[in-house]
Amino acid sequence: MITFLIFLAILLAVTAIVQMLSIYDLTSAIKGRKAFEVTERENKMQAFLWLIFVPSYFIFILWQYLVWGKYMLPESASVHGEKIDGLFATTWLIIIPVFIITHSLLAYFCFKYVYNKDRKASFFAHNNKLELAWTVIPSLTLATLILYGLKTWNSVMSPIPDEADKVTIELFARQFDWTARYAGEDEKLGRSHFRLIKGFNALGVDSSDANAHDDILVKGEFHLPVNKPVEFVFRSQDVIHSAYMPHFRAQMNCVPGMATLFNFIPRYTTAEMKQKTSNENFDYILLCNKICGAAHYNMQMKIIVESEEDYNKWLSSQKRFLASN
Amino acid sequence: MSTTHAEHSHHEQSFITKYVFSQDHKMIAKQFLITGFLMGFIGMMMSVLFRLQLGWPGESFPILTFLLGENWAPDGVLTPDKYLALVTIHGTIMVFFLLTAGLSGTFSNLLIPLQLGARDMASGFLNMLSYWFFFLSSIIMLVSLGVEGGPASAGWTIYPPLSALPQAIPGSGLGMTLWLVSMAIFIVSSLLGSLNYIVTILNLRTKGMKMTRMPLTIWAFLITAILGVLTFPVLLSAALLLIFDRSFETSFYLSDIVVAGTALDFNGGSPILFEHLFWFLGHPEVYIVLLPSLGLTSEIISVNARKPIFGYRAMIGSMLTIAFISIIVWGHHMFVTGMNPFLGAVFTFTTLLVAIPSAVKVFNYLTTLWKGNIRFTPAMLFAVGLISTFISGGLTGLILGDSALDINVHDTYFVVGHFHIVMGLSAVFGMYAGAYHWFPKLFGRMMNHNLGKAHFWLTITSVYGVFLPMHFIGLAGVPRRYYSNSAFPLFDSFIDLNEIVSAFAILAAFAQVLFFINFVYSALRGPKATQNPWDSNTLEWTTPVEHIHGNWPGDIPAVHRWPYDYSKPGAASDFIPQTVPLSEYEKDEGH
Ligand code: HEM
Ligand SMILES: [Cu+2]
Ligand SMILES: [Cu+2]
């Protein structure tokens, strides 16, 4: 019944518009006005609409920033993330003025140069100096941005120095959950093979490899020590997933058939971040950020950053791989 | 052209050869336009349906069950895998069917012969085939919605292994096979069209129509067609290899897979290979979508500002540069696939270079408006709207193209906001601008201005209402292709904003109904058009309003000047058509 009424309403609306159209066409024919002529009044109206549209557009963005800006990601929780945030801020410093200036010009020109039959447009077809200027200026700006960007990228992607004290963790993805594997005391992940994936041995760890014996597998949440480099190794058993840890400005795809790497140093413990965000319920999360199937939207793991001491305590309370086998 | 008009117009045509299997470029243009718009309408309705789920997750909308059936939306709630199905087909339809075939197919077909002074395309037959292949691929894509397991659901990028394994998602069964078949046929259609456009532009220009006197529309179509010919075949091969992996147990893209508890026998392939092949087309594709719109609006802005387009040569140069660079940037979609960081650096470099020719285009547009004498027809409104969307969306590209920044925004809603504005909206605005502007040429009648204006203002307001908030949502770390955000308490702060976005999406859809009514009504009953309603210089407005085979009743006019002599000092009127010989005091602006 409701559907029927909705259809009826739509039908009526359409008929009304069509009727209005034919009346409009008839009256303009009677008035002897050409149907495609845009009258001076209509032109002025449109020019005026542009003049108010552009500021409203700015205000709309500002309003969103004021209301929802505070929910954007907080300050970076990793060391390299600070550099990314710096680059990010710089990029916005370029984007925002360009955005405002070009849009303001657009609105102003639309308003100022609206059709007037007594005026003729300027025949201004090209000007080498101007064109050179707006090729060179963007080029210089971009050169800066590119250099700054590449410098940041290289430092973010550089591996942890060999001699450094680090934690190695494998993040293993499958439809639709994560498993984290810690390398254990030897800091070496044991070999694994996809043919060995079975029941308990969800990662296909090869128990004949001595390095595997002290490996630790956890689900649901995993812990990181603060201020210590963490080397992540990513793998997947079925489709591509992506390990996304937004608070740490970290993301890497998990691709079946290969291992990928990313590393970072956590800067704030979970407790510190709760304070910084004044949110008692704050938690770091790992989420899946590559379409991977029906439950892609709910493939997560909690991350807890704590002091090294607490971290060690937590780790030693977890079962070793061999023990669980 | 050697064929004379007489040979062309004397054979009588049956209904079938005139309206169905037509080889006349004007009829084919209409076929592309209408098919493209219908597909676009379906794609848009899909986005409204899945926006219902995103705006009010889990709430029951009986209309969903009514439209999609019990299997897709039991009790009025879309299921997660069918959500992904809708998103996938929405993206596919919008990018390929509406904005590649619908846009290029319509305006390249209509304008290349008319603006260059040719009786028809180089090959009317290939042109007809191009349309019918497109039609066939559209039908197959739509049929795939109804098959067992549902249509392709792995995103419009169909990355394997997800797209290769029916065990991973139901849409990767028959639905994906049909998607691949449909796209293969689509690519053939696109290649036939592009080759035809290129040959026609290079060979069939009328006397005096030097390359440097071609309207920017034609330049845009030429560059688009070349880009398509260079890159679409790569997608075709990517699709073929995927078909092999899916059906003949090869391992191009697959290795070491355990799915649904079973280890599969694939060995040695790499999904990353697919990504390289896909994006080798995928990135140029966004320019295949965008360049025709930039061409159309360059023309429309110049005509309606009554002023020559500023920097004609720079506009051509920037399009060529954009096209060239777009072939060497595909890796920016793969910064976080584990690619060698050095390679990432190279792709960042090339990607950010695109900003230079893009900036040139924006400044040239603005300068064209400066000191113009602007008439705001609906076409002009959409063209100016394109300048706004091109700026708004282009600028955020500086963030996504920068590998270091992309790490944290890759695949979030920030990306969805960015590409909808810069590619989706710009291309759609260009297409609407083209439709309003050349409607009199297509249908011999005028569209209603007031509805057109209402359509424009409602559209631009509501689509910005849809896509701007997505940037904020993305900057909070919300991933795209999520069925719902309710699994993460962290994202609860965006419940309201998601409702706002969905409400705007519904409004945007209603705004398109205004266009639809205007279009159908005007095509059938709108006031008759005059020959040159916009006082335009280009050749298409020298043809009669009624379509005739061969376009010009007598000889094809010769061209004596570039197309942008608007408001030329000393001239009596504010436009001088290309067919008017130069007076002795004039210099040739086309160089
Ligand atoms: C009323 C208009 C539109 C609305 C409300 C809309 C909405 C959306 C939304 C919300 C998504 C993301 C869904 C998700 O990630 O879960 C999406 C995806 C997409 N849309 Fe649109 N869209 C519209 C028009 C367009 C247009 C004109 C294009 C043309 C380029 C387009 C192309 C795409 C593509 C390529 C995707 C990605 C699909 C994928 O993730 O595989 N959309 N759309
Ligand atoms: Cu996943
Ligand atoms: Cu790209």
pLDDT tens track for B150-173: 999 999 999 999 999 999 999 999
> Does any domain span residue B575?
no
Are residues A191 and A53 part of one domain?
A: no
Give the residue from B172, B212, B258 with the most A CB atoms within 10 Å of its CB, the best one to mutate. Answer: B258
Of A2, A146, A260, the CB nearest to B352: A146
Q: Ligand 1 centroid vs B380 CA: distance in angstroms?
A: 25
Residues A232 and A254 sit within 8 Å (Cβ to Cβ): no
In-domain check, residue B284? yes
Strand A230-236 vs strand A167-174: parallel, antiparallel, or unpaired? parallel
- Phi first, then psi: what are they for A118, rounded to 5°? -90, 0
Is residue A120 assigned to a domain?
no
Same domain, A210 and A294: yes
Q: Which of A291, A292, A300 to mutate to test the interface with B (most CBs of B within 10 A)?
A: A291
Q: Is residue B453 in a domain? A: yes
One domain, residues A141 and A243:
no
Atom number, ligand 1, closest to the C-alpha of residue B501: 5
> B212, B245, B349, B402: which to substitute to probe chain A, counting the most A Cβ within 10 Å?
B402
- Do residues A201 and A75 both lie within one domain? no
> Is the domain of A143 the same as that of A194?
no
DSSP A12-70: HHHHHHHHHHHHHHHHHHHTT--TTPPPHHHHHHHHHHHHHHHHHHHHHHHHHHHHHGG
Name the residue type at position B433: A
Contact A126 B311 (CB under 8 A): yes
Q: Please check whether residues A139 and A179 belong to one and the same domain.
A: no
pLDDT in tens, A55-90: 999 999 999 999 999 999 999 999 999 999 999 999
Task: Decide: B44 in ligand 1 pocket, CB within 6 A.
Answer: yes
CA dist B3 and B121 (Å) reads: 12
Residue B351: closest C-alpha in chain A? A146
Q: Collapsing DSSP states into helix, strand and coil, what is residue B149?
A: coil
Residue nearest (by alpha carbon) to ligand 1 atom 14: B481
Residues B423-451 have pLDDT tens digits of 999 999 999 999 999 999 999 999 999 89
Radius of gyration over alpha carbons of chain B, in Å? 24
The Cα–Cα gap between A88 and A85 comes to 5
Residues in chain A within 8 Å Cβ distance of B321: none
In a domain, A321, yes or no: no
| A253: CATH | 2.60.40.420
d(CA A39, CA A50): 17
> How many folded domains does chain B comprise?
1
pLDDT value of position A211:
87
- Whether residues A311 and A175 share a domain: the answer is yes
Q: Is residue A2 part of a domain?
A: no
Ligand 1 and B225: CB distance under 6 A = no
Please give the residue of chain B at the shortest CA–CA distance from A194: B256
| Closest ligand, as measured to the CA of B335 | 3
Amino acid B4: pLDDT: 44
Instruction: Tell me the pLDDT band of B395, cut-offs 50, 70 and 90.
Output: very high
Ligand 1 near B466 CB (within 6 A): yes
Contact present, B429 and B383 (Cβ < 8 Å): yes
**Model pLDDT for residues B272-286, shown as the tens digit of each residue:** 999 999 999 999 999
Local confidence band at B130 (pLDDT 50, 70, 90 cut-offs): very high
- As a whole number, mean pLDDT of residues B129-149 equals 95
Report residue B57: phi and psi, to 5°. Answer: -55, 135
Residue B555 inside a domain? The answer is no
Would A93 be classed as within a structural domain? Answer: yes
DSSP B151-180: S--STTTT-TTTTT-TTT-GGGTHHHHHHH
Asked whether residue A323 is assigned to any structural domain, the reply reads no
pLDDT of amino acid B3: 44
Domain span at B533: 28-542
Q: Among partner residues B169, B258, B369, which is closest to A294 by beta-carbon distance?
A: B169
Residues A139 and A173 in one domain: no
A292 found inside a domain: yes
Q: How many CB pairs under 8 A join A and B?
A: 383
Nearest to B263 among A127, A197, A300 (CB): A197
Q: Is residue A215 domain-shared with residue A287, that is, in the same domain? A: yes
Q: Take residue B538 and report the two structure tokens written for it.
A: 């280009």
Phi and psi at residue A304, in whole multiples of 5°? -120, 120
ipTM score of complex: 0.93
Asked if residue A300 belongs to a domain, the reply is yes
Is A121 within 8 Å of B574 when comparing Cβ atoms?
Answer: yes
Specify if A215 maps to a domain: yes
Q: Does A64 touch chain B (CB under 8 A)?
A: yes
What are the pLDDT tens digits along chain A (325 aa)?
A: 555 666 667 667 767 776 776 677 667 666 666 656 778 888 999 999 999 999 999 999 999 999 999 999 999 999 999 999 999 999 999 999 999 999 999 999 999 999 988 888 888 888 889 889 889 999 999 999 999 999 999 999 999 998 888 999 999 999 999 999 998 888 888 888 898 888 788 888 888 888 888 889 999 999 999 999 999 999 999 999 999 999 999 999 999 999 999 999 999 999 999 999 999 999 999 999 999 999 999 999 999 999 999 999 999 998 887 654 4
Residues with CB under 5 A from ligand 2 (ion): A 241, 288, 292, 299
Q: What is the mean pLDDT of residues B203-217?
A: 93
- Averaged pLDDT, B507-529: 93
Query: B521: part of which helix (H) or strand (E)?
Result: helix B495-525
| CATH number of the domain residue B202 falls in | 1.20.210.10
Same domain, A69 and A111: yes
The answer to whether residue A31 neighbours chain B at the CB level (below 8 Å) is no
Select the residue of A61, A238, A287 nearest B468 (Cβ to Cβ): A61
The reply to whether A249 and A302 lie within a common domain is yes
Query: Domain limits at A210?
Result: 167-316
pLDDT tens profile A245-274: 999 999 999 999 999 999 999 999 999 999
Contact between residue B79 and residue B484 where contact means Cβ atoms under 8 Å apart = no
**CA–CA gap between residue B252 and residue B249 (Å, rounded):** 9
Ligand nearest the Cα of residue B354 is 3
What ligand is nearest to the CA atom of residue A293?
2
- Compute the mean pLDDT over every residue in chain B, rounded to the nearest whole number: 93
Check pLDDT > 50 for residue B591.
no
Distance B275 CA to ligand 1 centre (A): 20
Q: What is the pLDDT of residue A124?
A: 87
- Partners of B258 on chain A (C-beta within 8 Å) are 174, 194, 197, 204, 237-238
Compute the average pLDDT of residues B185-205: 96
For residues A267 and A221, membership in a common domain is answered with: yes
Structural domains counted in chain A? 2
Query: A168 has which bridge partners?
Result: A231
Q: What tokens appear for B395 in the block?
A: 């600028």
Q: Per residue in B294-320, pLDDT tens?
A: 999 999 999 999 999 999 999 999 999
Residue B333 CA: which ligand is closest?
A: 3
Q: Distance from A17 to chain B by nearest Cα, in Å?
A: 8
Each residue's pLDDT tens digit, B556-571: 999 999 999 999 988 8
